[in-house]
Structure 1
């Protein structure tokens, strides 16, 4: 494992911890899109179908369990926790995320490396992850004033994918025959979706002001 992959994993983990810190400690999910969290839960559920059949390493298994457990627990908190669910802004979080699933599934059925159930589901998870942040970004644009923890959560998510791109570039030049177009293209699309957010995030950081997105 190279430094870019490790940094990407740790940044991804940091995003989850920041969101759990907000939900569990402050007992608030204000500014957090349930739609995005449900998509991420589906991403991990379909990607890690091999968790109990194919052992790669202890690190790999632990990370899979963390992302599976955290994604479903966040969905549970927002939907069912007596206090947390009161802060959920259902009227603003109206992105029809179900419409993202079908195109991703159709793409996975036609664009994959091997036509098996597990491989198609893995490819589906890659495509779905690329667009899963859209409901969250739309919600932030509607609410405009973004609290610090929510802003950090989205920033870490975007940074994780950017670091993975550096990981792929590194592996391309250091590992023979390392080519994975499906993951590369989906990852690039996902990172580009964060471009506008990154710009305003760094502007607010530079000016030491509250993060705001344009209407």
Structure 2
């Protein structure tokens, strides 16, 4: 296994656990962008479509399942359990520009013009926009 991937996965895992612990401890989702969390869930659900068709390793499968489940759980907490503490007026993240820009670039920058390749490029480009600290 690649050491850098392991460290990155563990840091990502830690950040999700810290976010979940913060939400549970404060019983609030104030200051957390729902739009960003929805983008994360979308990225994980579409990026990991190979989960049902390709087995790489137990580690890979468990991490993918955790990322999907945790992102959906965060959305559940934001929209159902702690809905009263979420103020959508403060969520000014312009998601349409991220999705639109990623979709446009995915059509322009790809090796082959297949659905899987365009989808993959859109996700990679979308990740770059999404992780720019705007949320």
- TM-score scaled to structure 2, two decimals? 0.89
Contact 2:48–2:64 under 8 Å retained in 1: yes
Aligned residues: 135
Alpha-carbon distance in 2 for matches of 1:131, 1:98: 11
Residues 1-215 of structure 1: pairs in structure 2 closer than 5 A = 1-81=1-81, 84-133=82-131, 137-138=134-135
Q: What CA RMSD, in Å, does the superposition of the two structures yield over aligned residues?
A: 1.7
Rg larger for? 1
Gaps of 5+ in 2: none
Q: How far is 1:111 from its partner?
A: 1.3
Partners of 2:44 and 2:67 within 8 A in 1: yes
Q: Tell me how far 1:18 sits from its aligned partner.
A: 0.8
User: Cα deviation per residue 1:96-119 (whole Å; 9 max; x = unaligned)?
Assistant: 212210110121122123332222
Question: Within 1, Cα distance between the matches of 2:26 and 2:113?
Answer: 45
CA distance in 2, matches of 1:108, 1:42: 16
For normalisation by structure 1, the TM-score amounts to 0.58
Instruction: After TM superposition, give the deviation of residue 130 of structure 1 in Å.
Output: 1.2
List per-residue Cα deviations over 1:59-95 (Å, max 9, x = no partner).
11111111111111111211122xx122223221122
Contact 2:33 2:93 in 1 (8 A): no
Distance 2:110 2:66 in 1: 27
Distance 1:113 1:127 in 2: 14
